Structure 1
Amino acid sequence: MRLNKTLAEVTDRIIARSADSRTAYLERMEAAAGKGPARAHLSCSGQAHAYAAAGADQAALAKASAGHLGIVTAYNDMLSAHQPFETYPALIRDALRGVGGTAQVAGGVPAMCDGVTQGEAGMELSLFSRDTIAMATGIALSHNVFDAAVYLGVCDKIVPGLVIGAQAFGHIPAVFLPAGPMTSGLANDEKAQIRQKFAAGEVSREELLKAEMAAYHGPGTCTFYGTANTNQMLMEFMGLHLPGSSFVNPGTTLREALTVEGAKRALSLSALGNSYTPVCQILDEKTYANGIVGLMATGGSTNLLIHLIAMARAGGIILDWQDFSDLSEVVPLLARVYPNGLADVNHFHAAGGLGYMIGELLEAGFLHGDTKTVAGQGLAQYTQEPFLSEEEGLTFRPGPKISLNEAIVRPASDPFQVTGGLKRLTGSLGTAVIKVSAVDAKHHVIEAPVRVFQDQEEAKAAFKAGEFSGDTIVVVRFQGPKANGMPELHSLTPMLAILQGQGHRVALVTDGRMSGASGKVPAAIHVVPEALDGGPIAKLCDGDVVRLDATNGKLEILTPGVLQRPCAEADLSSYQHGTGREMFGMFRRTVTSADSGASVFDLPTADPSPQG
């Protein structure tokens, strides 16, 4: 199938925009690869230190006679998505011994949950945890004793941080090993209804807790299609997972077999063999374009508009929001998974899942089919699905050619929407993004007076006091990365949904984040410049009229004279201390804007023009 014209044009401009920084990055990776297996260059004392606790593997390591795999893990047993990783290292070591290889845990990285920290001070560390994870990955691999690496991580900031760190060691292969989603519990729409009832004072906290526990009830990722599961989709579209492995439940024999095969595959791609495929070759401009397509076709989390930019720039590739917006205009929405529908990711997987979608998008010309992957050359292998047989063990067979439930996943010829539902907004209020895949078309344009708040608690207090009585655009500012680490503002969702349900035309405008669970209320998020940077959002006052136009990509201040006002000031002292915030002052002072990836690293930047 002929490649879609817009996909070709966007990819070409990414390549042109990134030419200098990408060339410099690849030259560094080539130089690192040229030194050969790193542990051979260690002193005898250094090697002894590295192998001292390796037990029966010491002899093989000392002889350098076998491939050696590094395991970078985000394991902790407080988070359901990462609890299954507890058993992975032992499983991987045993599997590799069987084929003459060895493995060690290179290091652990922190993993925090936005669900646990939602509305709490800890959420202000969430975005910064991504770059902390990247740095921890670098420390884990800095011993230079590994021929390849596997990465154990799932959730919101963990996978992007691991990808950034992996690209710093882009001369060695990388395979990402997921844990999979928990089995389905209380339906997500039922849970959302109970949350709204609690926000309206109609049910007790005990009833709310009972519903939440019924929804989040076992090991694995949350089953709604938020940032964690968007990460898993991306790793498959970008060729870093084995085909069909993203949404296999934890604790199953198939999940175990995929973990073993992924570890073996990582070693087979090392420079010791004949199929050397370092991760710097997999994560190229076409691969990142495929990732954006996957984001649009599945209605994934808006957090990836920040993370994909930071991930790409770690490999010398410069993306900008216009790339996302342009691809969204042509890529059809093929999936309806909560909060964009009633199904969860288990239902999505059963209906055909990622393999079916990749096949449809390849056939329609919306994906680069010639990218390298950990499974080999070409994305067509990702239309396959894994299965176990008594005779052959783990094998891969062709996935479904038709959707098994068109209420969940549809063909490219008959999509849910002809566009991906994401827009870049520009205008006198700044630049922002909006996800409208779950927003009714009648709410795509909102023109109303604003109510301005400095944080979400102020907004919720006004709601509880009954202060919202008409059409309103709720503005929550001083929530950007420089102000307080750009926390998610999910606790506003029930309040806004209630107002919308009462017949009011409402929207949210913020320099903070809202993620993949923004749902049916229009939300212009990631506004840049942020308030602390002197953006126009800092000049708004209650009653000013703003127009949010998702149809035409506009975010305008309609009240005259606003831009001539001085910027409001906020007391940010409460964001500086407590719950570890004092340790991240350097991050707040040095972080880049959201449209540059909100990173603390010295990464290449895009041309300031919209087309980059």
Structure 2
Amino acid sequence: MNPVVQKVTERIIERSKATRAAYLEKIEKARIKGPHRGSLSCGNLAHGFAACGKEDKDSLKAFTKANIGIINSYNDMLSAHQPYEQYPDIIREAVKEVGSVAQVAGGVPAMCDGVTQGQDGMDLSLMSRDVIAMSSCVGLSHNMFDGALMLGICDKIVPGLVMSALAYGHLPFVFVPAGPMPSGISNKEKAATRQLFAEGKVGRDELLESESASYHSAGTCTFYGTANSNQLVVEVMGLHLPGSSFVNPGTPLRDALTKAAAKQVTRLTDLGTEYTPIGHIVDEKSVVNGIVALLATGGSTNHTMHLVAMARAAGILVNWDDFSELSSVTPLITRIYPNGQADINHFVAAGGMALLFRELLGAGLLHNDVKTICGEGLEKYTKEPFIENGELVWKDGPTEAADPGVIATTEKPFKQDGGVVVLDGNLGRAVIKTSSMEDPNVVIEAPAVIFESQHHLDGAFKEGKLNKDCIVVVRFQGPKAIGMPELHKLTPPLGVLQDKGYKVALLTDGRMSGASGRVPAAIHLTPEGIDGGLIAKVQEGDMIRIDPANQAVTLLVDEAELAARKPAEPTLVADERVGMGREFFGALRSHMTGAEQGACSLFVDEN
């Protein structure tokens, strides 16, 4: 093992000793009660299988055949989740073939940040993760299930599903992806049209045509944002079948993998032959593996919050120092948009997950002594799935990239580090994604221009007020303020300013997520402005320095003056908590932890 990866892992194990022990004790107590249907009264059980056919009722009465719950995030507005409409039928039939039963245990909401970006609904996005976790727990609470299949893809959905699965950590869970849509127009072309629109050089018709040619069919968006980062991380943590993350929907291979996942979970139940609960798969080593794979591929900065919350659900305590130290020794070995021009389908064609596993294992960057849904170790994940003579088979994956411009080797990486840097200073702690930046060590020292809304920046940009070196400060965007929405409306105008030769950067207690691009962006700043953060004391024209090489973010104002300043009063927060259902989320908002603690409302009683 790489000594730094080993050291960070041992530090996490030591830090988590008490909470992990308590978690394992909890799930063991749940396990020894046996198949839970046996503890139900006759009336309870009759309600649980009332809608089943006679054969399934007889199976469930016997207590010797597994009942598999399905948690489904299907809706047909969200392209990534539209394929899940047919999955329950596929799963029920596959499970029946091995003598077990499957029931849809519940549905969870699945919103699309691509639809809500810049809209009021985006303020619910991050909090929806916790709602999904709670909703899934409700679905599984009937005590009817010996294991479950989790159907989810996108930004907050998979982390929420993982958290809820870990709450039922004595049960086995298999995560079932739906795959990316086929490639549309190039990401470079799409980004160029967005920038031309921001400059007023093309109209809305041209912009919509470009966007529609990119997001054009069922399946996950093909850029490497949070949705595809979710799939990669979950596979590396051993919760997917090998090579299943990025198979296009509506293909024979996709259906075969779904059937295989359904059958595999029955083997992992306490009634099966290979009992493997998710609480034993997700341990400190698998969490570190997930972080390393995220860093090696330049994945979503949202996981600096999601992986923290996911780990906490298993009694594992992770912080940003762990991310930063792992990033320092994890080479960047993929170029997938926005870290390059290739999309996720190009990544698959270049060698995909099998080659990624091979490279990281060979370099000692992944722990191999871990459990997965396929047994011990990660060697199985260096294989690729195929349909051969009508059967699903796995064959050895490639040993080198078909396109070295998309997947590099650990010996000759695109960058020597993982491209996620933790910034620290008098302003607090923030994250910056350097893997997409032209110069990852650029220092931006410039006067502050302050906004309380991403929408207000657009007007200042159009009026030419930002035609200068500046650090754009967008504050009161954090979890407790308005739910920490993504601020991607900022990216095109800041990119235009950068192209004009101005030194610009962004500082915010809000999010930029997996699509953080070439503009230096110190994001997820904690403590947030509404919760005592110094960002609330920044005044127009104050000099700020963002220095990734030295991991620093500093407000260059005399300490005595800062002490005398009163924090600014948020003028927009009250209005941004009302409408589009936002008023119903006040309790969650008020209990949200800081970004480094996972921006989570579910563990507040223990923090």
TM-score normalized by the length of structure 2: 0.98
Instruction: Using the TM superposition, give the Cα deviation of residue 442 of structure 1 relative to its aligned residue in structure 2, in angstroms.
Output: 6.7
- Aligned partner of residue 551 in structure 1, secondary structure: helix
Structure 1 unaligned runs (5+)?
A: 607-612
Pair 1:569 & 2:569 matched: yes
5+ long unaligned stretches in structure 2:
none
Deviations 1:533-581 (A, max 9, x none): 1211000011100000001100011132234311101122112210010
What CA distance in whole angstroms lies between the structure 1 residues aligned with 2:16 and 2:428?
Answer: 25
Look up the match of 2:241.
Answer: 242
Q: Hey, what does 1:431 align to over in structure 2?
A: 429
AA at the equivalent of 1:451: V
Given that 2:441 and 2:547 are in contact with CA atoms closer than 8 Å, whether structure 1 keeps it comes out as no
* Residue number among 2, 5, 11 corresponding to 2:3 in the alignment: 5
Partner of 1:557: 555
Aligned twin of 2:595 = 594
1:216-255 → structure 2 map (5 Å cutoff): 216-255=215-254
2:472 match:
474
Distance of 1:331 and 1:214 partners within structure 2: 35
CA deviations on 1:424-458 (whole Å, 9 max, x unpaired) are: 10001111010000101176211111101111111
User: Is the contact made by 2:431 and 2:523 (CA closer than 8 Å) also made in structure 1?
Assistant: yes
> CA offsets per residue over residues 469-513 of structure 1, 9 Å max, x none?
211100000000000000000110001100000000100000000
* Secondary structure, aligned partner of 1:562: helix
Contact 1:318/1:604 (8 A) holds in 2: no
The aligned amino acid for 1:600 is S
Q: In the TM superposition, what whole-angstrom CA distance separates every residue of 1:63-108 from its partner, at most 9, and x where no partner exists?
A: 2231110000100001000000000000111111111111000000
Q: 2 CA distance for matches of 1:274 and 1:304?
A: 34
- Match of residue 18 from structure 1: 16
Structure 2 distance, partners of 1:150, 1:442, is 40
How many residues in Structure 1 have an aligned counterpart in Structure 2? 603
In structure 2, what is the equivalent of residue 124 of structure 1?
Answer: 123
User: Counterpart of 1:578 in structure 2: which amino acid?
Assistant: G
Deviation at 1:342, TM superposition (A): 0.4
How many Å apart are 1:605 and its aligned residue? Answer: 6.7
**Alpha-carbon displacement from aligned partner over 1:508-529 (angstroms, at most 9, x marks no partner):** 0000000111110000000011
- Amino acid paired to 2:143: N
User: 1:506 corresponds to which letter in structure 2?
Assistant: V
Match of 1:415 in 2: 413
* CA contact 1:536–1:563 (8 Å) conserved in 2: no
Could you tell me which residue of structure 2 aligns to residue 211 of structure 1?
A: 210
Q: 1:603 to 1:35 in 2, by over 3 A?
A: farther
* Structure 1 residues 604 and 339: CA distance shift in structure 2, 3 A: farther
Amino acid at match of 1:155: C
Q: Matched residues, percent identical?
A: 55
Equivalence for 1:583: 584
Query: What secondary structure does 1:93 align onto?
Result: helix
Partner of 2:82: 83
Query: Which residue number in structure 2 is paired with residue 609 of structure 1?
Result: none
1:451 aligns to what SS in structure 2? strand
CA–CA distance in structure 2, aligned partners of residues 579 and 114 of structure 1? 15
Alignment-derived partner of residue 299 in structure 1: 298
Query: What is aligned with 1:50?
Result: 48
Quick one: distance in 1 between partners of 2:603 and 2:177?
29
Tell me if the contact between 1:180 and 1:250 (Cα under 8 Å) persists in the aligned partners.
yes
1:379-407 Cα shifts (integer Å, max 9, x gaps): 1211111011116x111111000111000
Contact 1:531–1:538 (CA under 8 A) maintained in structure 2: yes
Q: CA-to-partner distance for each residue in 1:151-186, whole Å, 9 max, x for gaps?
A: 000000000000000001000001000000000011
Tell me how far apart the structure 2 counterparts of residues 262 and 235 of structure 1 sit (CA, whole Å).
Answer: 14
- Contact persistence 1:455–1:476 (CA under 8 A): yes
Hey, what's the Cα distance between the residues in 1 that align with 2:406 and 2:430?
A: 29
Deviation at 1:62, TM superposition (A): 1.7
Alignment root-mean-square deviation, CA: 1.0
Residues 545 and 555, structure 2, Cα contact 8 Å, conserved in 1? yes
Asked if the contact 2:64/2:271 (under 8 Å) is kept, the reply is no
SS of alignment partner, residue 360 of structure 1: helix
Counterpart residue identity of residue 9, structure 2: T
Q: Which amino acid aligns with 1:66?
A: K
* 1:406 matched residue in structure 2: 404
Distance in 2 (CA, whole Å) between partners of 1:370 and 1:388 is 29
The list of structure 1 runs, each at least 4 consecutive aligned residues, that deviate by more than 6 angstroms after superposition, is: none
Q: Secondary structure at the match of 2:536?
A: helix
One-letter identity of the residue aligned with 1:382: Y
Between the aligned partners of 2:97 and 2:456, the Cα distance in structure 1 is: 59
Q: 1:268 & 1:279 partners in 2: Cα distance? A: 13
Distance in 2 (alpha carbons) for counterparts of 1:366 and 1:545: 40
Q: Any idea what SS the aligned residue of 2:545 has?
A: strand
Contact 2:441 2:549 in 1 (8 A): no
Q: Aligned letter for 2:275? A: Y
Contact 2:427 2:553 in 1 (8 A): yes
Q: Tell me the equivalent position of 1:187.
A: 186
CA deviations over 1:230-283 (Å, ceiling 9, x no partner): 000001110000000000000000000000000111110000122100000000
Corresponding residue for residue 109 of structure 1? 108
Which residue is equivalent to 1:60? 59
Q: 2:440·2:548 contact (CA, 8 Å) conserved in 1?
A: no
Q: Which residue of 2 aligns with 1:453?
A: 451
Residue matched to 2:165: 166
Distance 1:232 1:563, change over 3 A: farther
Please give the alpha-carbon distance, in whole angstroms, between the structure 1 residues aligned to 2:231 and 2:318.
20
Query: Contact 1:284–1:317 (CA<8 Å) still a contact in 2?
Result: yes
Summarize the alignment of residues 284-295 of structure 1 with structure 2, pairs less than 5 Å apart. Answer: 284-295=283-294
- Tell me what 2:201 maps to: 202
CA–CA distance in structure 2, aligned partners of residues 409 and 564 of structure 1: 52
Structure 2 counterpart of 1:168, one-letter code: A
User: Could you tell me which residue of structure 2 aligns to residue 547 of structure 1?
Assistant: 545
State the distance in 1 between where 2:87 and 2:124 align.
27
TM-score by length of 1: 0.97
Q: CA deviation at 1:603?
A: 5.6
- Deviation readout 1:27-86 (Å, 9 max, x if unpaired): 000000000000111111111111011124222112223111000010000100000000
Decide whether aligned partners of structure 1 residues 53 and 442 sit closer, same or farther in structure 2, where only a CA change above 3 A counts.
closer
* Secondary structure of the structure 2 residue equivalent to 1:462: helix
Counterpart for residue 36 of structure 1: 34
| 55-64 vs 505-514, greater mean Cα deviation | 55-64
State the SS of the aligned residue for 1:424: strand
